[in-house]
Structure 1
Amino acid sequence: MSLKDKTLFITGGSRGIGLAIAVRAAQDGANVAIAAKTAEPHAKLEGTIYSAAEAIEKAGGKALPLLCDLRDESQLAAAVEQTVSRFGGIDILVNNASAISLTGTLATDMKRYDLMNSINTRGTYMAGRHCIPHLKKAANPHILTLSPPLDMRAKWFAPHVAYSIAKYGMSLCTLGWAQEFAREGIAANSLWPRTAIATAAIRLIGGDALMKKSRKPEIMADAAHAILCKPAREFTGHFCIDDVVLWESGMRDFSGYAAVPGTPESELMEDFFVPADTPKLG
């Protein structure tokens, strides 16, 4: 199981889960293109495309930092072409970029609605549309989208319908692409965490209290790695939960992923959109 010499195109990978996936792939010796819009340090969010590239190179991979606003098709198209020019193709697309606002209908203006849907749903669709022609030429092509299982209960929509629409739109891309491109052997899967993940976004939402109830981004990176190493023709159309993927790969101890060492599993906060029928582990 290795991603050595594979080329990954990751949207929004300058920090958090996207960066963790990039670094895990780099440990195998992968080529990683980071397409994100953070070129200068942000006051509240750590990481830029350049610091991400440094981390990738340090981990053993080859990096290509690409300044790209996912809402701009010309920028995305140019980023894809630069990746192909630099590395000779694209083997894996990771749709990681996402915007979040956990607000109700009357508190979510159209500017915020448009931002979430432009980055989440439209950005995912557009990245797929530009990368799929190159994925068709790859030996074991994968699309991995960081979006939830399609559990259509009202409880997941009522508190923040605009955000939920934007995230479920990403999942609908997975559902459609898995069948649309099955003959070409392109796998399309989604990955979602069982618990909150300790990222800058989580800190902004819940502060240190929520961070202490979270797991590290590395659990998502290890689960992503397990998925991306599977034969594409044999594993597609799945909506995966991070620890279930790792459990099925043979892992039994998840304590090392706790953001605060020693935190009992029972004290971790379950993430949004986790279906009630998700297997309980242990």
Structure 2
Amino acid sequence: MTDSLKDRTIVMSGGSRGIGLAILVAAAKEGANAVLLAKTDQPDPRLPGTVHTAVAEIEEAGGRAVAVVGDVREEADCARAVATAVETFGGIDIVVNNASALNLTGTLDLAPKRYDLMQQINSKGTWQLTRAALPHLFASDDAQVVTLSPPVNLAPHWLGRFPAYALSKMGMTILTLGFAAEFAEKGVRANCLWPQTTIATAAVVNLLGGAEAASRSRTPEIMGDAAVALFTDPQRPTGQILLDVEVLARAGTTDLSAYGGTDDPELDFFVDSL
């Protein structure tokens, strides 16, 4: 086991922008390799970046990266991402389940196809990519699965707000806790990482309140730094649901002013207090 990310290989779903990219850039600064499985082959006028611009940014930060254009919902694409990591970098040390669909529509207004999309990307995608990587994780001396999913908060004010989305995100959490228990004897650690506050991503700007919401959000770099702290945590946690601020505090970082969010940041979904 090692506290360094140098030459460790991360396979991530998504990662073209936002939190996923921030994690890979932070890991690249520590010498990590990355394979990104994402659909963004061509620019989208509504969203910044593609999987190819992400690779360039990761490499500029000091890492090595490969783009795999594909869909985490497709078994063959997950297998191709895993094979690319093994062929290019010799193995897999960390799987990050980052890709996620967001739809905050209530039950009566949510179309069944939108329900299916969230379950397939969020819960099934987490299960499918992890499953494809497991044989290679077993060969790593410090195998990890990190899923960007929330606390299992069953408070009615969360469950009643958007049940389908809550199911898909908490499904990611339950799967990850299950991986931790199921594969503990194989040496695979699995944890969930979630931001305490909203993060200033395109999703926040486009879906959750625009510039005002972004001004009360922390920058994606807080999740990047928290992920690196979790990857290299000498305590080797597993089976935990962790907020970014908890991981950073354990690593000795308590001054969060560099990440913005003002003095009154907006709490993220499923988080009830600072």
Instruction: Tell whether 2:268 aligns with 1:271.
Output: yes
Matches within 5 A, 1:1-282: 1-205=3-207, 206-231=209-234, 234-258=236-260, 263-264=262-263, 267-275=264-272
Q: CA deviation at 1:168?
A: 0.5
Cα displacement string for residues 161-202 of structure 1 (whole angstroms, at most 9, x for unaligned residues) = 110000011001111111101111111000001100000011
2-structure distance, mates of 1:75, 1:220: 26
Mapped contact 2:151–2:173 kept (Cα < 8 A) = yes
CA contact (8 A) 1:35 1:79 kept: yes
Q: What stretches of structure 1 move > 6 A for 4+ residues in a row?
A: none
- Distance of 1:74 and 1:247 partners within structure 2: 39
TM-score of the aligned structures, taking structure 2 as reference length: 0.96
**Does the 8 Å contact 1:149/1:275 carry over to 2?**
no
Distance 1:78 1:268 in 2: 40
The one-letter code sitting in structure 2 at the alignment partner of 1:247 is: A
Q: CA deviation at 1:270?
A: 0.5
The residue type paired with residue 12 of structure 1 is G
Q: Note the alpha carbon deviations across 1:7-51, whole angstroms, 9 max, x for none.
A: 000110000000000001100111100110001001111111100
Distance 1:75 1:2 in 2: 29
Percent identity reads 48
Q: How far does residue 275 in structure 1 lie from its aligned partner after superposition?
A: 4.8
Aligned equivalents of 1:252, 1:76: Cα separation in 2: 37
Aligned residue pairs: how many? Answer: 271
Per-residue deviation, 1:2: 2.3
Cα displacement string for residues 145-167 of structure 1 (whole angstroms, at most 9, x for unaligned residues): 00001122222111111100000
Q: Is the Cα contact below 8 Å between 1:151 and 1:275 reproduced in 2?
A: no
Q: Which runs of 5+ in 2 are unaligned?
A: none
